[in-house]
Structure 1
Amino acid sequence: MKTLFWNCHGLGNRRTVRALKELCKIQDPTCLFLMERKRKDHEMNRWQGLAGMTNIISVSCEGDGCRRAGGVAFLWKNDVNVSLLSHSLNHMDFIISLKDGSLSWRATGIYGYPEQNRKRLTWDLLRTLAGFHAQPAWMVFGDFNLTLSEAEKFGGAAPTLGLQEMFREVVQSCNLKDMGFEGHKYTWRNNQEGEDLIMARLDRCFVTPTWADLFPQAKALHLSFFASDHLPILIDTCPRRSIRGRGGRVLRFEECWLRDEECPTMLTELWNRGATDPYDRVNSCLVGLKRWAKRRFGNVPMEIKDTKEKLQELQEHIHEDGVLANIKNLEDRLDDLLESSPMAVEEICDVVRNRVSEAMFGVLDGDYTQKDVYEALNQMKPTAAPGPDG
């Protein structure tokens, strides 16, 4: 199961809207927690159905017009049952369980108080929530607007040590531990250059030991910055080992490559120069084929992927002179590409008349039989390699 959370810094911006749709299309989360969306409740109705998430609970932002601030929302698919425990402008607290009832846990999204003189209210909220429910498997995630140590901040004024110490004490008293992460070290940046650049790890996920035992393979992945000063974070409770390229993307062999006369020669050349380890050889071969295909064919989806990879690489050098300007140029290019890319499937479905009757849906939604599985396997193409969802 995947949970995505993001301080999106307002959903009134078209770039942010496109970025969110692209995130959900690529990551396919089961649950989505949005912070600082700056939208009223009735304005969130358009997001119902995003990437199959037909359920939504939201808390309106404060203020109107350009003075809007805050606002949180939680969206989820029908794959899980979600029960709301409590909510406010700064949090949403749920019990999540699988449909078959085999697993359940508590999930709490936090949007920490951004004002310096109110930051203590964030850990007061944590203490209150810790004593509110007896569920031992607990995951707490979001933008806490606080760092745990000096190492989690780059540039700017030195962090207030007293605030950090109190934050650590509260986390410990709530029996929580930092889940760790993979990806960029900092989750927020002020988009300035040189000596004015400030970055910090303000967004994170805490879990109790019981939750960690429930999901021993779980990982927190820091995704790329785009359309917000905060990066999105993906919690994957069951990550799979795949052959991956730069930026963590899955590499797959495309059957259409075989129709090109250069492909066999390129494949042989890449395979012969590969490593001795079979896994490394396949991986390096696919990486080489992907590069060849980009040069040979080239299209908007591939250019989108390439731009994302470049952005991911530049994040590691953001403190160097001139890099932020390159990042902004690439972000503008990515936004143009997303705007010009083919219409999303869900947008097409909105204007296509439904041709599946209730009776037909009843048959399609029924339990699989051994005969159904056998027939499906025999209908597969010999070069097909479907995932767990087919």
Structure 2
Amino acid sequence: MVEEKLDRILITDTWLSLFEGAKACSLISPYSNHLPILITPEVVNTVRRRRRFCFDNMWLKEVNYREMVKHSWDKTIGMDVLLRITVCSQDIWRWGHEYNRDFLRKIEGTKAKFERLRTRRDSVATFILEQRAKEHWWKGGDSNTKYFHNSVKMRKRRNKVHKLQNEDGVWIDNADAIGSVMVDYFQLLFTATKW
């Protein structure tokens, strides 16, 4: 007879990181061909090591950085050079930690501001399209911007003047000449006539 273990345990990486010393063993069950599994979680105390110092070249562009290094170096005058370097590096490490944390906050704040501006721009663009389309049913229904965009294009095509008849009765279809016909018409219309 061939026996195979079919029962399994599923855990996540997070759980495993919390209980690295966990043990599992199969128990004997007289009533089933499946074996119950007993998990004995054991918390392993791990000593957190301090993160290694990493210098970031971006700090060199900060005015505050140079001032902090100068202040740190000046406050250790008279000490051994190795001790001065140690104190200065600790100050740099603390300053860099704060700077990077603030930098990440600024990035998140900028992303949030960008998102607000993007949604505002989208709503303004939709409003302009709706206004240009002269469609009012959108208030109670679907606001499909493609529809409004096509509606604006259709309205523009419909309102375009393709040809005009001048005062001599000649049809003008050249765009520049149409403009001249319009100017001449309105100048004649608004010119005061003496009675």
Q: Report if TM-score (shorter chain) is over 0.5.
A: no
TM-score, length of structure 1 as denominator length = 0.19
Considering Cα pairs closer than 8 Å and 6+ residues apart, tell me whether 1 or 2 has the greater RCO. 1
TM-score, length of structure 2 as denominator length = 0.33
Higher helix proportion: 2
Higher strand proportion: 1
